[in-house]
A and B are shown apart, each in its own frame.
Chain A
Amino acid sequence: MVIEPRGTLYPRVKVKDVEKIIESSIVNDEPEKTLLYSPNGNSSSVEKYKNIPFYAKQQRIALRNLGMIDQYRIEDYIATGGYQGLAKALTDMTPETIVDEVKQSGLRGRGGAGFSAGRKWATCASAEETPHYVICNGDEGDPGAFMDRSIMEGDPHSVLEGMIICARAVNSHEGYIYVREEYPLAIMNLQLAIEQATSYGLLGDNILGTGFSFTLKVSKGGGAFVCGESSALMRSVGGDVGEPRAKYVRSVLKGLHDKPTVLNNVESFANIPPIIVNGGKWFASIGTEKSTGTKAFSLVGKVRNTGLIEVPMGTTLREIIYDIGGGIQDDRPFKAVQTGGPSGGCLPKEKLDLPVDFDSLTEADSMMGSGGMIVMDDQTCVVDLAKYFLKFLVEESCGKCTPCREGLYQLHSLVDKMSDGRAVESDLVLAENLSKSIMIGSLCGLGKSGPNPFISTLKYFREEYIAHIRDKKCPAKVCPSLISYEIIEGPCDGCMACAPACAVKAITGEKGKLHVIDQNICDRCGACKAICTRQAIEIH
């Protein structure tokens, strides 16, 4: 809980604390010292949330209103400056100057590809064919990513406002927000926001009395990962099966119903109102030269502080993981960070000082993606990780083109063989060649970037693959076929806790005497190690 305007933060507030907080913070304007946040192992407490490292290095533009306003009240959004950008765009600006402002901001698409939003808008605006459409991609599907969902749920009006401004700039009168059915709250909140905005004259016919009209509908998707791909998404909005098509003619010229269409994602649109209000120059002054502004990430995995963050572009991975994330849980060594979702890449500790922006990540063979960031410690096996993401992509491939459908399936089989200890060294060569063909030959981005989980882990952790293949060892002690659980003499006091915990009855031993695991029976589930209080069970 944050008490404004002081910005006093009270973490994990209980009902019994409320009285004290009201008494100190509200009545006396003094912080209640006993309830303030104190960092790990530090007795001194921090009062203001802005001084806590988790928040100190963040700068919130797209996420500006999250947690600050009541998402169900348009009045709250307006009270914090909402729809000022729209009013300015409709009354003080022309479509051309709106496009120029967005161009000047340097805003690049936050969905992953990082294409210049201003250039996209300009192309659509000058397209001769009509009508023009504006679509918002809210089909966030990366495992562990929830930036767009939080914005749609917590600040739906910021998306609406960005879209209406865009519609004005490209002369569109019809728009869609494509959201997956797995986000029911986002769908509900967006629909409510559309109703409210329409009743306030901010959407629909004759917006703000300017004569400009724009209607918005929420289009629900079935939750196929590939429908986040622009051409598949537009087919899905149009009522067809969500399969991609070749994009040799760009979707900004032939998009929904083959008409000019601007498609940007949730975070991109949420950035538009502040850009219009404060100017493109202001936005361009944040971040790096070629990647301007901020980027939201969902920071998850083995870091102390997980959650939604927003940092200026160019912030290093180290700052994100150690300053904001608070370092690795249990002070274990950092191993890698996966950026860009399942088809992104894994970056090792040598890359910790890499500035996070579109181009640096691509150069390091990873990608920005939509902003998922999964941090891994030394207990994560990269072969196992690649196998997990490949499995996800195999299941999410639409199956239209051969390299993605058959290629990713076979690539997953090969990596599975490696993690299972059945692979030979020529399998690694085969997998590398197959990856090249999938990347060149696939129809859409899903296939083209599909082998990335394998390619990027192989690039930085080749020795770990070799250990699995040649030595039949899993250095991180994860892959079940390549490890064994053993009870060590000494620490084991024969307490008999482990034997009943073993589902396959692989452990034998008498009370007070050393227990033994029968390796032929053991299925390496780890239940014995979890229950042993004397750390007598080791993984080899």
Chain B
Amino acid sequence: MVRLTINGRVVQAEKGEMLLVVMNREKISVPAICNHGAVEAFGACRLCTVEITKNDWNGWKNYVTSCLYPVEDGLIVSTHSETVINLRKTLLDLHLARHPHSEHVRQWAMEYGITQTSFEEIPDGDDCILCALCTRICDRMGFAAISTVGRGHGKEVAPPLNEPPPDCTGCLACAQCCPTEFITFSDSGTSREIWGKQFEMITCKECSKPILTKDFAETLSKTRNIPADYFEVCDECHRKATALTMGKISQWQREDTAS
């Protein structure tokens, strides 16, 4: 165990734990839009940057992204120093210039008092903040169907050669974790479209509700050893069936005790 001070409060943590994890546990909040529990910390948005020092650093301070910084004994952390706040404001200001039409970005900027960007607005700026959560989650799912392409200001998220990605199974993990809801998809009950690729949906045998794409079901049963017929029924109907079974079991038990 190590002891560190965050905003004047002494807290305990496991050695090597990431600072942001400790802060979250202690309910000390900083923005961290490229962070997600399902994937490793990445350090792209830099919004979770905090000021650190130690008693024996002779007043020297460092600025580190808390998502990637392993805590050590004696660390003194300030999450809202003037320099840190200025940095966050600049970052949000830059986002606002690049993504002027994103409601989410406006909201984040507003929380730091920015309603108008100080920089030149980028006219064709889209809503992708390049947090790379989508590509990292896609990797984590085992598909790596999309990735970031290019570099610098022209970087973007795209499927290979900008064509419908062969490895995509239409699982929607990318769209569901996109913090600005930039990744769009359409569901029509029997089919789904994402990244320009069409998918056939499996519908529930019991209630006819769409469950997941056929491609995703096949991949899951193959890679996770789940019986293929598991996906014939939706979660809700699975639960109903379970409840029925449980009901029957308790009835038998009652009958047993009675007799």
Q: Which residues of chain B come closer than 8 Å to A430, judged between CB atoms?
A: 118-119
Pair A406/B94 contact, Cβ less than 8 Å:
yes
Pair A406/B98 contact, Cβ less than 8 Å:
yes
- A224–B151 Cα distance when bound, in Å, is 9
| B45 within 8 Å of A (CB atoms) | yes
Per-residue interface assignment for chain A, residues 438 to 473, with 1 indicating a CB less than 8 Å from any chain B CB and 0 otherwise: 001111000000000000000000000000000000
B153 touches which of A401, A405, A437 (Cβ 8 Å): A405
Minimal beta-carbon separation of A427 from chain B (angstroms)? 10
Minimal beta-carbon separation of B125 from chain A (angstroms)? 10
Q: Which residues of chain A come closer than 8 Å to B132, judged between CB atoms?
A: 400
Which of B69, B120, B147, B152 neighbours the largest number of chain A CB atoms within 10 Å of its CB? B152
Pair A248/B70 contact, Cβ less than 8 Å:
yes
Minimal beta-carbon separation of B200 from chain A (angstroms)? 33
- Give the residues from 80 to 134 in chain B that come closer than 8 angstroms, CB to CB, to chain A: 83, 86-87, 90-91, 94-95, 97-98, 118-120, 129-130, 132
Q: A397-B152, A398-B151, A440-B63 are in contact. Are A403 and B83 (CB under 8 A)?
A: no
Q: Which residues of chain B come closer than 8 Å to A434, judged between CB atoms?
A: 90, 119
Mostly, the A contact residues are helix
Pair B87/A395 contact, Cβ less than 8 Å:
no
- Give the residues from 219 to 236 in chain B that come closer than 8 angstroms, CB to CB, to chain A: none
Minimal beta-carbon separation of B148 from chain A (angstroms)? 7
Q: Which residues of chain A come closer than 8 Å to B151, judged between CB atoms?
A: 224, 226, 396-399
Q: Which residues of chain B come closer than 8 Å to A72, judged between CB atoms?
A: none
Per-residue interface assignment for chain A, residues 413 to 439, with 1 indicating a CB less than 8 Å from any chain B CB and 0 otherwise: 100000000000000001001101100
| A356 within 8 Å of B (CB atoms) | no
Minimal beta-carbon separation of B102 from chain A (angstroms)? 14
Pair A398/B152 contact, Cβ less than 8 Å:
yes
| A221 within 8 Å of B (CB atoms) | no
| B21 within 8 Å of A (CB atoms) | no
Q: A430-B118, A433-B86, A440-B83 are in contact. Are A402 and B49 (CB under 8 A)?
A: no
- Give the residues from 220 to 266 in chain A that come closer than 8 angstroms, CB to CB, to chain B: 224, 226, 241, 245-246, 248-249
| B23 within 8 Å of A (CB atoms) | no
| B46 within 8 Å of A (CB atoms) | yes
Nearest-CB residue, chain B, relative to A437: B90
Pair B95/A406 contact, Cβ less than 8 Å:
yes
Q: Which residues of chain A come closer than 8 Å to B154, judged between CB atoms?
A: 399
Nearest-CB residue, chain B, relative to A406: B94
| A394 within 8 Å of B (CB atoms) | yes
| B158 within 8 Å of A (CB atoms) | no
- A407–B86 Cα distance when bound, in Å, is 14
B65 touches which of A226, A246, A394, A398 (Cβ 8 Å): A246
Minimal beta-carbon separation of B159 from chain A (angstroms)? 16
A394 touches which of B63, B70, B119, B152 (Cβ 8 Å): B152
- A219–B155 Cα distance when bound, in Å, is 25
Q: Which residues of chain A come closer than 8 Å to B45, judged between CB atoms?
A: 401-402
Pair B120/A413 contact, Cβ less than 8 Å:
yes
Q: A401-B46, A410-B120, A440-B87 are in contact. Are A395 and B68 (CB under 8 A)?
A: no
Minimal beta-carbon separation of A510 from chain B (angstroms)? 46
- A395–B153 Cα distance when bound, in Å, is 7
Pair B68/A248 contact, Cβ less than 8 Å:
yes
Q: A399-B130, A440-B87, A441-B49 are in contact. Are A410 and B43 (CB under 8 A)?
A: no
Pair B130/A405 contact, Cβ less than 8 Å:
yes
- A464–B69 Cα distance when bound, in Å, is 41
Minimal beta-carbon separation of B217 from chain A (angstroms)? 31
Q: A248-B68, A405-B130, A443-B43 are in contact. Are A437 and B91 (CB under 8 A)?
A: yes
| B8 within 8 Å of A (CB atoms) | no
| A409 within 8 Å of B (CB atoms) | yes
Nearest-CB residue, chain B, relative to A399: B155
A405 touches which of B65, B68, B90, B152 (Cβ 8 Å): B152
- A143–B45 Cα distance when bound, in Å, is 29
- Give the residues from 145 to 183 in chain B that come closer than 8 angstroms, CB to CB, to chain A: 147-148, 150-155
- Give the residues from 174 to 227 in chain A that come closer than 8 angstroms, CB to CB, to chain B: 224, 226
- A399–B150 Cα distance when bound, in Å, is 8
User: Taking beta carbons and an 8 Å cutoff, which residues of A are in contact with B?
Assistant: 224, 226, 241, 245-246, 248-249, 394-403, 405-407, 409-410, 413, 430, 433-434, 436-437, 440-443
24 contacts across the A-B interface (CB closer than 8 A): A241-B147, A245-B43, A246-B64, A248-B70, A396-B151, A398-B155, A399-B130, A399-B148, A399-B155, A400-B44, A400-B132, A402-B46, A403-B46, A405-B153, A406-B95, A409-B152, A409-B153, A413-B119, A433-B90, A434-B90, A437-B90, A440-B63, A441-B63, A443-B65
